[in-house]
Amino acid sequence: MTIKIINSSNHELPHYETEASAGMDLRANIESAITLKPLQRTIVKTGLFIELPIGFEAQVRPRSGLAAKKGITVLNAPGTVDADYRGEIGVILVNLSNDDFTIENGERVAQLVIAKHERAEWIEVEMLSDTSRGAGGFGSTGTK
């Protein structure tokens, strides 16, 4: 699959690090460093603009290393870039740690996964079919 992209940053295009990688790293495209205090959030621009085919989305997801080591994550994970969006891709980062975190220009701040999706059509009914779970909510399928 090919996707049209405009890269207005000075950084390389996102790419897969290994043959089996699902995501490509997104880099901060900022003029000066941004320091996030604990529980603070910001939108980090990437300098990337894409044109996805209809039926696909780009999912902006946290980087596991930043989340595990620094407590930095994508607030609306996964963030969705729709096929008809033509604006700059931004990453909503939040600092869930107890320490300040500084984002530098070019830093890998999130990953981007391209995913196919379906469009649903609703059919209103009076009843739904029964299942063994029924209306059981969170934790209702066991603790294992």
Dihedral sign from CA coordinates of 3, 16, 102, 93: positive
Model pLDDT for residues 50-87, shown as the tens digit of each residue: 999 999 999 999 999 999 999 999 999 999 999 999 99
Identify the segments of the chain with pLDDT beneath 50: none
The DSSP output letter for 52 is P
Give the model's pLDDT for residue 144. 61
Give the model's pLDDT for residue 100. 98
The rounded distance, in Å, linking the Cα atoms of 61 and 91 is 9
- Could you report how far apart the first and last alpha carbons of the chain are, in Å? 39
Tokens of residue 46, six digits: 């990437």
Give the model's pLDDT for residue 132. 86
Question: Which H or E run contains 31?
Answer: none
What are the residue boundaries of the structural domains of the chain, listed by start? 4-116
Give the model's pLDDT for residue 72. 98
Q: Which residues pair with 79 in a beta bridge?
A: 60
Helix (H, G, I), strand (E, B), or coil: what is residue 64?
A: helix
Give the model's pLDDT for residue 139. 72
Angle at 52 between CA 110 and CA 47, to 5 degrees: 45
Q: CA–CA distance from 143 to each of 53, 82, 131, 132, 137 (Å)?
A: 41, 36, 19, 16, 13
CATH number for the domain formed by residue range(s) 4-116: 2.70.40.10
Neighbouring C-alpha atoms within 13 Å toward the C-beta of 125: 6
